[in-house]
Amino acid sequence: MPTTPVENLTETQAAEELARLAAELLAHDRRYHAEDAPTISDADYDALKRRNAEIEARFPELVRADSPSLKVGAAPSGAFGQVVHAKPMLSLDNVFSDEDVVDFVASVRRFLSLGETAELVFTAEPKIDGLSMSLRYEKGALVTAATRGDGTTGENVTANIRTISEIPQQLPKGVPDVLEVRGEVYMRRDDFLDLQKRMAESGQTFANPRNSAAGSLRQKNPEVTRSRPLKFFAYAWGETSAPLGATQFDAVQQLGRWGFVVNERMKRCATLDEMLAQYRAIEAERAALPYDIDGVVYKVDRLDLQERLGFRSRSPRWATAHKFPAEKATTTLLAIDIQVGRTGALTPVARLEPVTVGGVVVVNATLHNEDYIKGIGNDGNRIRPDDHDIRVGDTVTIQRAGDVIPQILDIVPDKRPKDATPYQFPDRCPACGSHAVREEGEVVRRCTGGLICPAQAVERLRHFVSRNAFDIEGLGEKQIEFFFGAEDEALRVRSPADIFTLRERQKSSLTKLENIDGFGAVSVKKLFDAIDARRSVETSRFLYGLGIRHIGETNARRLARHFVSFGALRAVAEAARIPDGKGDKGNEAWQELNAVNGIGDVVAEALVEFFAEDHNREVVDALLKEVTPRDEEQVGGVETQFTGKTIVFTGGLERMSRDEAKAMAERLGAKTAGSVSKKTDLVVAGPGAGSKLKQAEALGIEVIDEEEWFRRVEG
């Protein structure tokens, strides 16, 4: 990562670095969430995000909206009915140090244009390590209960929730007619250990209380759930027909008065010092608490300020989770394997002597990339002493980063075997033998085999059927590998379209799937039915499933919501290209694509390049013969005068920050863009507006000032 101080950057350098950071962070998010193969540590990732934030703070006119956003949970499975949340259930951003908390508070003040001395109260409470749940009450009666799912749609687990004694079935008089109570289903540690003893007799166990709670809640038979000791903490709400209070603290206490269990360790904090003191007090209690926690959650207390702050694509601006340091352990490194992802990335994985870390048995850990093995960070500087490269046979210190993904931190040098030799990272792909190259500026080595590489092909298919893409039940890792390698053409799946022709090809084949070990008549029928059920999917899922580089779930949704239909999106992407496959930055199609809020040059070029390749278009065309992408539903709630319109904010705004203005417009159903084009409907211009204002006037686009914007919003 460049080390030029932010204050020394020129505007051109800042713009170039923001583009690079956006692309790099998006790539790391994809490796972490989609490929389960992160290539950097949490600390390095956070450093990239901080660098991005510092540059944006100095150059507000260069702020890009295409920084990657972590996915919200996972798409709901097909095992339960689905519930669309009236208000999205978003996840929280994480911070890991006191300095990060300082930055978080400063960002809130900056967004709200509050000076350092202005009162700003936060609540601080334990972050329960459980399963997020939304309970909907109508006229006081529990009507539905749903998991977070992908944040928009969750699993309907109402029957199972009714078996939890701590969750009221009927609320007292005086509650709002519509009330969605949100919180965490969890299991106490002592109850978990008792359950483990009982389940061990049948050969079933869970890794930890959180997994136990999630598994217990997703039982198809509610009586099984009833036999599990589940509990519930309430700490938030979704849709309500009447306000619960003026502050976060008062609203949660009101939930307590209505019969919900709320956490007694929730506290108001009037200063940053009080927030950090509460964090340390809760951390000191962690081991003695009867339930698992993994951090402390800070929330802006005043609900009117929460409303002003609004949300990013996946998380609220008014809250964050201060995570506890990861737990550590030492063990022996038995081997280093190389995994090949769907983009060709070669990721080293450590095979370990099994060790328990934080209640979970760890046998594998990420080694990120070849530089990390040598002890070199992404900035080119050493992160461990020269002789602390990682070798097979070493005794290593591991931690579960964020209590989730295990990673190797360092070695124990005095325990290194005498015959241990430095690890030689392969320069050829272990799956296809093609050259593995490392492009300038990249920390990842990639296979050049492309379509001939079976590992990449299999990973692309696994991605296509994954929960957040097409979500085809019954097509897991083993099944994809089986169908990909099948000798009989009637069973072979090499492209997405092959999945949807499998049933028909089976009819004319002598080889019947139900006669093969591991399959049966019932499972085969369920598989084919699950495939047929996905012959129509939302445009965002269709786009995400294609596995286009830099287009994760968030960017797929942004593009789908802007263009609505897949056909319209594809037409613009194809119209934007020039013969070499890059985007023609001078044409109208490119400008429209690049103006989509959150989509910058890197993402736009990835989309254009994808549709510029003949093979990709053939794959998509074949898939479209089998699958119909549904037009994307627009988000925004009640229709307003701004619904569906594209708005650009430019110049200095006095009553609100630029981010706050965009958030307000999007809540009203509008689309916000970073540049003016013929597709722009309205420009809100403040003092100092420059080229965007001139372009709007030249195109005859309506321009209003900030005061007129507020008159229209309030009118």
Residues that are catalytic: 127
Cβ(22)–Cβ(53) under 8 Å? no
Q: Which amino acid is at 714?
A: E
Coil, strand, or helix at residue 287? Answer: helix
How do beta strands 445-447 and 436-437 pair?
A: antiparallel
For 403, other C-beta atoms within 10 Å of its C-beta total 22
Both tokens of 676, joined, read: 């003016």
Instruction: Give the angle subtended at the CA of 166 by the CAs of 164 and 169, to the nearest 5°.
Output: 75
> From CA 249, how far away is CA 614, in angstroms rounded?
57
On whether the CB atoms of residues 233 and 293 are closer than 8 A, the answer is: no
Residue 530 CA to residue 585 CA, distance in Å, equals 42
Is 217:135 a contact under the CB 8 Å cutoff?
A: no
Give the position of tokens 């999917």: 537
**CA torsion sign, 483 to 484 to 488 to 490?**
positive
Please spell the DSSP secondary structure of 345-402, one letter per residue. Answer: EEEEEEEEEEEEETTEEEEEEE--SHHHHHTB-TTSSBSS-TT----TT-EEEEEEET
Task: Say how far apart CA 546 and CA 566 lie, in whole Å.
Answer: 12
- Judge contact between 495 and 619, C-beta under 8 A: yes
As a whole number of angstroms, the distance between CA 520 and CA 524 comes to 6
Sign of the dihedral through C-alpha 36, 41, 46, 49:
negative
Element (H, E) at 588: helix 588-595
**Residue 43 vs residues 22, 46, 325, 617: alpha-carbon distances, Å:** 17, 5, 11, 39
Q: Is 565 helix (H, G, I), strand (E, B) or coil?
A: coil
Report DSSP state, residue 586.
T
Do the Cβ atoms of 195 and 230 come closer than 8 Å?
A: no
DSSP 587: S
How many C-beta atoms lie closer than 10 Å to residue 214's C-beta? 16
